[in-house]
Amino acid sequence: MNRRTVAALALTVATGLTLTACGGPKPAPGSGSRAPADAFEPVKVGDGDATRGGNVNVLMSADFQTLDPGNSNYVQTANVGQLYYRTLTMAKEEAGKPPTIVPDLATDLGKVSKDGLTWTYTLKKGLKFEDGSPITSKDVKYGVERTYARDVYTQAPQELNAALSDDGYKGPYAKGAAADFKGIETPDDRTIVFRLKQPFAEFPALASRSNTAPVPRAEDTKLDYTNHPVSTGPYRIKSYDRGRAMKLVRNEHWDPATDPNRSALPDTFTFSLSTAQSTISQQLLADADPTALTLDSAGGLQASDAAKLDDPAVARRTASGLIGCTDVLDLNTESIKDPQVRKAIALAIDRKAIHLQYGGARFGKLTQSYINPDQRGYVQQHTALDPAGQPKLAEAKKLLKGRDVPKKLVYGYADATPRYKNMGTSLQQNLKQLGIDLELRSIPAANYYTTLAGKNMPDIARSGWCGGADSGSVRTTIDPNLGPSVDGKTFGFSNIPRYHDPEIARAMYALRGENGTSEELGRKWSTLFDRAMQDYPLVPLIRNVTRSVVGSDVRNAQVGYFFGAIDLSTVSVASGSDSGKG
Amino acid sequence: MIAFLTRRLVATVVLLAVISFVTFTLFHFGPADPAAAACGQECTPERIAEARVALGMDKPFLSQYLTYMSGLFHGRTVGAPGAESLCQWPCFGKSFQTNEDVAAVLERALPYTLSVAVGAIVLWTVVGVTFGTLAALRRNKLTDKLIVGAASVGVSLPIPVTGLLLLLVFVSTLDVLPFTTNAITSPFGPAGFDGWFLNYLLPWVALAVLFSAQYIRVTRSSMLETLGEDFMRTARAKGLSKAAMVVRHGARAGLTPVVTMLGLDIGLLLGGAVLTEQIFSVPGVGFTAVRAAQAGDLPLTMAITLLAAFFIIVANVVVDAVYAVIDPRVRAA
Amino acid sequence: MLPARPASGADGGGVPNARSPEPGSAPPAVAARSLLGTAWLRIRRSKIALAALAVVVLMILFAALAPVLTAIEGQDPYTTRTSPDVLDDYGTPGLPLSYYRYPSFDHWLGVEPGLGRDIFARMAHGAQVSLVIALLATVVSVVLGTVLGAAAGYFGGKVDMVISRVMDLFLAFPHLLLVLSLTPILQSRLGDTALGEGSLLPIASLVIILGFFGWAYLARVVRGQVLSIREQEFVEAARAYGASHRSIILKQIVPNVMGVVLVYATMMIPTNITAEAALSFLGVGVKDPTPSWGQMLNAAQAGNWYLTDPWFLAVPAGALVITVLAFNLLGDAVRDALDPKSSRG
């Protein structure tokens, strides 16, 4: 769920400038970064440098969960994936803003039929796999088919599949009728036609998910495909020593003429896997390797590192920006039934203290809503919460007068993260003021979201959302999180508060089937969301900010809104830093 | 002798089998649902059901155990029907986190654990035996009292305290040693002996502080006992110098308990120095175990428990055998 | 079959167990009546032993009086203070004046970074939790070890074989690894019972786990003792007079193994204190907001706070080391007292 799904961005003027700036004077290290007027303005490092060559060394605290595009539901692997696979469309990052969806393998963002039920894509000419064989529409279709084999690929992204018709399909390894996929047609080698159940205005974003990365059927080694996925992007995997290191080198069959989205400036990328997180942050802060950067969340920084970020030498090397991920506190509406009690709890929470657990303004911005004005279809949201995060105790106590107030509530937290536990400690103090005894219960991090979706959902829990399949649209945040329930008893996996209001549910159902643009439908979603939020099923907390320190030779480093880390598709190194390690 | 060893070996195999069964049972009936852990974040009931089939959890308990054990000897296929993949010998299953062969994960972790163990063992043995002998020779003098006092403090320093203190002083404040990196696994690699040495120095010291103290105590008391025995008095009467005496006679008799202790400690440490590896972020077996436990990665946890038990038992057998060679009376026992 | 020695210390697969005393130093049987008296007479002669005893007694008093002391201080271990006058923008206490970071009149040992809770109050209440766990776990181990060891030694035959094999099994398990993965399992099992209430849960589960894994070595030693006592004349004589098993065990055997049990019990306590610290440090033992010394070490390490705020580490580390050292020295003294042969003479 903290899963941040892929989405994209328009080709900006800046990218064009990058390409023409080759002959110009080289910017001094870090000259691209500037002191932002607003603390949350995005900051890029070494913007505009066009030096080709060199090696980028990516430090990571853990091995990739997978490199198989068909089994990847992680931002980290999607970020790396930009380097070695391409999809029909692509979510192009621009720091501080939701990514723009741009064409990648396809010639455009897709042609939709009048009824909104058919989307047609045409592949560009001259596309090749890393062995030089041509990429056809069949390979794209096969890539999507694999993601239906959910028993094999447990992390296969499902947003695209959920929109397509043919629910009975069980993936290419199944036998009989279940093995014949009708959701996609390939009339010729360059045309792909998707058949949808309902209109889906954000479909081009769905087509940017890793499902549409072409996979040659003959090369499909199933679960072992992760060890060497066949490249369609600017780099291919030269070596992958699991748990230790990976090296990417240029893929000579990638044609830059077909791909305006990836600058592909460095010659190679090395990945140092499972370096300890404290080592990563210390190395980056000390500039131990001038070509290093990290993909770890929050830039691999520890809470105590915050003070060091103010050192000017470090600040010059720090890329930052608001990212798409927002954290909220879910209030279980099945156990805390009275909306007024939920509102009182929301008002009693010291959000400022929670903000401090995130590392303060350096790592997050207090937010009043789950959705934000940078998203398509946003309309003004209303809340009684204090914008500065101070608790409104008097008001909360007044609301509780004469109400049935629970004596004891349970807060569940993922045990691997100290910040979430500390949040509970703070909440405990706040709720005590209302006469509510809060018990803290740790939940194994691995089972956290499963527990929240199951019958053991505590009364209060934190969750995060990074925008869904199209982080640029409000719909893919609202529908999964407070989406409608048929009967008020069964809920979508991400509707953690189990929120149900019959009227709002009916309206949302109707909206799902409606045909229109993402913008106009989004405004209707936002309005319904604002109404639902007056019942306080969840309390908005923090919009996450990522600060990522990079080595002094790293250029074009920007924090991706969706990736929550340095965007690998733009990054490069200044000349003279050829520290490529075998 | 051969009969003795055979007996020991048979007992060892039986013990290992029992341990594997007990461990498998403990984890099997644990509350951490392996299917939920295996199916990751967005786990709907249908997906859990699919994961159960893929993990073979729909089969009866005993058959699951037998399948697991047979994999240890000749590999097996794992995964959902229709998309099985081969898990090579020795198959401990596949990690829930990365779907990698557990054996491969362990193979990768072992060099780190070995690096930590080798240096630490050498360091504490040298320090422990040297100072223990010294204390025995200077019995009741100031040297002895200082050494014994230091040993008392040493055994009272928990690893988390020593470890964090070392990091705070030598890495963060004085900045004379690096944070450990995972790029170095042996003294023969590109980083050379120096790089390896500096990288593992702090973990060694953290372990050695605790262990040397124990070795000092054992060496001292066993040396005292030996020095008081008849043959030593005879040797002294023959006019041998004290140093020569200790080296020629004292060492052999006096160090037997140290050798025993060492054998067992090596066995323990090969199973992963959990705290040390965790504090210094050395991705060895112990570190892997903590991560596996946190992630509910049962195949990995299970395999590490078995591996560690294996090392402990083998170390015991080796110590037994060595003992039997030294002291024939043991064989009759 | 194994000449097993308990895990020697605090790492490498097997933490929780008593350290072995030096070889050949198992104390001989001493009659129970004079046991404590003899011990006290000898301990009284050593300044170090007396000091250690004093520290142990003081620490136990300190833990017992934790609520009183914190009341005098005017603080409690749970109240958070995150306002800007206490914690700065970085979450560190009171920069630039550092009033809240270090000892002051209001906060005797300063406040925590991040949450601003009173460190003294947490340390004192943590002492309670840490010591209660260690002592109760020791009691569990001692009772199990003595009863099973004595039964094996006294009855011999099949009883001995079964108990001995179980001991082998326990000694061969990598304790720390197993405890690490079993504690969460046990905690969720206990979660539905009366022991599962709030802060009781981790305490109860640690007592059970540490106690359950700590008995085997003591049992082995007791078994050896009983084997030799059983053959001695006064036991034979009692048997010849037709004394019942019960009476022989209670009147002859038990008093005679009390010495060895006492020695091992004193040594087991510091080991269990360390084990609690280790497990809570790794995040599977006592959990926030309940304080214990291990939990405080864990909090100091989380987010690398100890690097910017070493004081935060120093308090629990100091309390832990002083207590463990005192118990260890006392253990040595008790052993020496009951076993003149191993004394440092």
Of B43, B79, B297, the CB nearest to A450: B43
Contact C33, C191 (CB under 8 A): no
What is the rounded average pLDDT of the residues B303-315?
89
Q: Which of A452, A432, A436 is nearest to A444 (CA)?
A: A452
Taking the C-alpha atoms of residue C277 and residue B163, their distance in angstroms, rounded to an integer, is 13
CA B232 to chain centre: 36
Chain C within 8 Å of B103 (Cβ-Cβ)?
no
Beta carbons of C283 and A350 less than 8 Å apart: no
What is the rounded average pLDDT of the residues C194-203?
65
Chain C residue with minimum CA distance to A415: C283
Within 197-236 of B, beta carbons closer than 8 Å to C belong to 207, 210-211, 214, 217-218, 221-222, 225
Contacts of B39 in chain A (CB under 8 A): 154, 450
Taking the C-alpha atoms of residue A248 and residue A244, their distance in angstroms, rounded to an integer, is 14
Q: In which band, very low, low, confident or very high, does the pLDDT at B40 lie, cut at 50, 70 and 90?
A: low
Torsion of CA C134, C135, C136, C141, to 10 degrees: 80
Contact C23, B218 (CB under 8 A): yes
SS (H, E, C) A58-89: EECCCCCCCCCHHHCCCHHHHHHHHHHCCCCE
Within 340-379 of A, beta carbons closer than 8 Å to C belong to 350, 352-353, 356-357, 359-361
Beta carbons of A303 and C303 less than 8 Å apart: yes
The answer to whether the peptide bond before residue C23 is cis (omega within 30 degrees of 0) is no
What is the rounded average pLDDT of the residues B62-89?
80
Q: Which of B210, B300, B127, B122 is nearest to C12 (CA)?
A: B210
- The answer regarding whether domain B103-332 maps to CATH 1.10.3720.10 reads yes
Q: In which band, very low, low, confident or very high, does the pLDDT at A79 lie, cut at 50, 70 and 90?
A: very high
Beta carbons of C305 and A421 less than 8 Å apart: no
pLDDT given at position A282: 84
Q: What distance in Å separates residue C60's CA from the closest CA in chain B?
A: 18
Q: What distance in Å separates residue B218's CA from the closest CA in chain C?
A: 5
pLDDT given at position B41: 53
Q: In which band, very low, low, confident or very high, does the pLDDT at A582 lie, cut at 50, 70 and 90?
A: very low
Q: Using one digit for the tens of pLDDT, what is the confidence trace for A211-268? A: 999 999 999 988 889 999 999 999 999 999 888 889 999 999 999 999 999 999 999 9
Chain B residue with minimum CA distance to A480: B42
Inform me whether the pLDDT recorded for C197 exceeds 80.
no
Taking the C-alpha atoms of residue C128 and residue C115, their distance in angstroms, rounded to an integer, is 22
Contacts of A453 in chain B (CB under 8 A): 43-44
Q: What is the DSSP letter of C115?
A: T
CA dist list (Å): A527 to A380, A485, A509, A535, A536: 8, 18, 14, 14, 15
Burial A143-178 (b: 16+ CB within 10 A, else e): bbbbbbbbbbbbbbbbbbbebbbeeebbbbbbeeee
State the CB neighbour count (10 A cutoff) for residue C44: 12
Share of chain A above pLDDT 90, in %: 66
Inform me whether the pLDDT recorded for C278 exceeds 90.
yes
CA dist list (Å): A576 to A52, A198, A270, A290, A573: 11, 54, 17, 11, 9
Taking the C-alpha atoms of residue C312 and residue C318, their distance in angstroms, rounded to an integer, is 11
Chain C residue with minimum CA distance to A309: C90
Q: What distance in Å separates residue B106's CA from the closest CA in chain A?
A: 11
What is the rounded average pLDDT of the residues C49-75?
94
Contact A397, A344 (CB under 8 A): yes
Contacts of B106 in chain A (CB under 8 A): none
Q: What distance in Å separates residue C62's CA from the closest CA in chain B?
A: 20
The amino acid occupying position A178 is A
Q: Which of B204, B275, B172, B159 is nearest to C320 (CA)?
A: B159
Q: What distance in Å separates residue B42's CA from the closest CA in chain C?
A: 22
Contact B188, B114 (CB under 8 A): no
Per the structure block, which two tokens stand in for C299?
A: 């909090």
Of B39, B47, B83, the CB nearest to A173: B83
Contact A63, A246 (CB under 8 A): no
Contacts of A303 in chain C (CB under 8 A): 91, 114, 302-305
B neighbours by CB contacts (3+ pairs under 8 Å): A, C
Taking the C-alpha atoms of residue B171 and residue B205, their distance in angstroms, rounded to an integer, is 14
What is the rounded average pLDDT of the residues A108-130?
96
Beta carbons of B156 and C321 less than 8 Å apart: yes
Most confident of A82-86, B22-26, B282-286: A82-86
Q: What is the DSSP letter of B328?
A: T
Q: Using one digit for the tens of pLDDT, what is the confidence trace for B184-238? A: 888 888 888 999 999 999 999 999 999 999 999 999 988 888 877 766 677 777 7
The mean-pLDDT minimum among A442-446, B317-321, C287-291 falls in A442-446
Average pLDDT of the residues of chain C: 81
**Span between the terminal Cα atoms of chain C, in Å:** 35
Chain C residue with minimum CA distance to B203: C11
Beta carbons of B50 and A151 less than 8 Å apart: yes
Q: What distance in Å separates residue B82's CA from the closest CA in chain C?
A: 33
Contacts of B99 in chain A (CB under 8 A): 66, 223, 226
Q: In which band, very low, low, confident or very high, does the pLDDT at A478 lie, cut at 50, 70 and 90?
A: very high
Inform me whether the pLDDT recorded for A571 exceeds 70.
yes
DSSP element (H, E) containing C122: helix C119-155
Name the more confident of B330 and A38: A38
pLDDT given at position A381: 95
Beta carbons of B296 and A447 less than 8 Å apart: yes
Q: Which of C43, C39, C45, C56 is nearest to C262 (CA)?
A: C39
Q: Using one digit for the tens of pLDDT, what is the confidence trace for B121-170? A: 999 999 999 999 999 988 889 999 999 999 999 999 999 999 999 999 99
Chain B residue with minimum CA distance to A174: B82
* Sheet strands side by side (includes A268-272): A235-241, A245-250, A268-272, A55-59, A292-294
Domain-wise residue ranges, chain B: 35-91, 103-332
Of C3, C10, C22, the CB nearest to B217: C22
Burial class (CB in 10 A: 0-12, 13-18, 19+), A364: buried
State the CB neighbour count (10 A cutoff) for residue B150: 16
Report the relative pairing of strands A554-555 and A572-573 from DSSP bridges.
antiparallel
Phi, psi of B58, deg, nearest 5: -80, -10
Q: Which of B42, B301, C143 is nearest to A2 (CA)?
A: B42
Report the predicted TM-score, pTM, of the whole model to 2 decimal places. 0.86
Share of chain B above pLDDT 70, in %: 87
Of A304, A357, A419, the CB nearest to C304: A304
Contact A445, B294 (CB under 8 A): yes
Q: Using one digit for the tens of pLDDT, what is the confidence trace for C160-180? A: 999 998 998 888 777 788 888
Within 146-175 of B, beta carbons closer than 8 Å to C belong to 148, 152-153, 155-161, 164-165, 167-168, 172
Beta carbons of A425 and C304 less than 8 Å apart: no
Contacts of A64 in chain B (CB under 8 A): 98
Per the structure block, which two tokens stand in for C305?
A: 């706070």
Beta carbons of B98 and A65 less than 8 Å apart: yes
Chain C within 8 Å of B301 (Cβ-Cβ)?
yes
CA A313 to chain centre: 30
State the CB neighbour count (10 A cutoff) for residue B170: 16
